[in-house]
Amino acid sequence: MQLRVLIILTSGRAIGRAWAGELDGDGSGRPTRRFLLLILSISLQLIAIPRNLSIVLVGDNTGLKMWQKKKREEQHARLLKLFEEDDELEVEQ
């Protein structure tokens, strides 16, 4: 949470300073290297966070589906075993 707030505050402050013209170190009107690296860092974070979140969600969903399938197969096997035992009891009587 603190990192998210720091990123938001840092990016907002840097963009505000750029609009005010404070980040052009040599007076040429071009942004400084530090500002460009900051924008690149923020851009990469804006790409990486949703990508990683989607990877986690897809992985969780896949794991859940596999777990449900395994449980369903176990229940089916238990049911078949129960009916097999029931058939054996009927044959003996």
pLDDT of the residue at 29 = 64
Helices marked H in the chain: 2-20, 33-92
pLDDT digits (tens, 9 = 90+) for 31-51: 778 888 888 888 899 899 999
Share of the chain above pLDDT 90, in %: 34
Q: What is the DSSP string of 43-54?
A: HHHHHHHHHHHH
Q: Which of 49, 52, 39, 57 is nearest to 3 (CA)?
A: 49
Q: How far apart are CA 39 and CA 18, in angstroms?
A: 11
If pLDDT is split at 50, 70 and 90, which confidence band does 17 have? low
Q: To 10 degrees, the CA torsion angle through 19, 23, 28, 34?
A: -130
Of residues 57 and 38, more confidence is placed in 57
pLDDT of the residue at 39 = 87
How large is the average pLDDT for residues 55-71? 97
